[in-house]
Structure 1
Amino acid sequence: MTRSWALPTLLVVCGALVAAASAVWGMPGMAVPVLVLFVLLAGLHSPLAFPRSIGAEEAQDRSAVDGRPIVYWRSGCKYCLRLRIRLGRNARRLHWVDIWRDPAGAAAVRAANQGDETVPTVVLAGRPHVNPDPEWVRSQLSS
């Protein structure tokens, strides 16, 4: 769980340092926008930007019942973030598994990707799809 917050924490700390330096160097008007920018970036790369993660076993059980895809992801992954943003509200219709929080999820991703932890990996009807086009995922949700 610590790894999932490492990048957001680093972004906030860096933003605070840059904002403080701006204020010290006589540019206080620059400090607030810089800090806000870094906090927004931290929020986008944090687990807060994604629907609540569940365990891999629970996701597989739920997917077997409702037929919804499973998305294996990790925070800090720009491709996961792209998928999440492009899905918009439809993202809540998928089962999200954070592989940094769930060892079974990481094992499922490694099994689907010849030992690599490549994310996002979307499992639909038992078939893994590595870094699929968000529009394709959206079309699968509507069908």
Structure 2
Amino acid sequence: MMRAWLLPIVFLAVGAAAAAGSIVRGSTGEGVVLLVAFALLAGLNSPLVFPRSVSVAEARRRSAADGRPIVFWRPGCTYCLRLRFRLRRHARRLHWVDIWRDPEAAAAVRAVNDGNETVPTVLVAGRAHTNPDPAWVRERSAP
């Protein structure tokens, strides 16, 4: 659980230190801008940006019932972030599984990616697709 928050915490700490340094030097405006910029980076790299993760077992159960794709992701992954933002509102229709929170999910991703935890890996109708085009995923998430 803590692993998912490590990068956002580092961004906040670095941003706070940089902002404090600027404020001490007399550049209050620059300090505020730095703090806001690093806070935004922390937010973008946090698990809060993604829909709520479920376990791989629950995602498979739900996908079997409704036919929607499963997305394996991890916090801090720029490709996962790209997929999430390009899917826009369609992202909520997918079943998201954080491989850092679910060891079984990490094992499933390694099984289809030659032993690597390459994400995003999207499972559509039982077939894995590594880092697919967001438009392609959006088509498969349509009701």
The 5 A counterparts of 1:96-111 are 96-111=96-111
The 5 A counterparts of 1:65-104 are 65-104=65-104
> Equivalents in 1 of 2:31, 2:113: separation in Å?
44
Matched residue type, 2:26: G
Measured against aligned partners, the alpha-carbon deviations of 1:85-142 in whole angstroms (never above 9, x if no partner) come to: 1011110000000000000110110111111100000000000000001011011122
User: 1:33 offset after TM fit, Å?
Assistant: 1.3
What is the number of equivalent residue pairs in this alignment? 143
Q: Give me the CA root mean square deviation.
A: 0.8
Q: Which ranges of structure 2 fall in alignment gaps of 5 or more residues?
A: none
| Alpha carbons 2:68, 2:140 under 8 Å: kept | no
> Equivalents in 2 of 1:141, 1:84: separation in Å?
13
TM-score between the two structures when normalised by the length of structure 1: 0.98
Measured against aligned partners, the alpha-carbon deviations of 1:56-78 in whole angstroms (never above 9, x if no partner) come to: 00000100000000000000000
1:23 is aligned to 23
> Equivalents in 1 of 2:142, 2:26: separation in Å?
54
1:47 is aligned to 47
> Equivalents in 2 of 1:65, 1:83: separation in Å?
24
Q: Which ranges of structure 1 fall in alignment gaps of 5 or more residues?
A: none
> Equivalents in 1 of 2:57, 2:42: separation in Å?
29
SS in 1 for 2:116: coil
Identity, in percent, stands at 64
TM-score between the two structures when normalised by the length of structure 2: 0.98
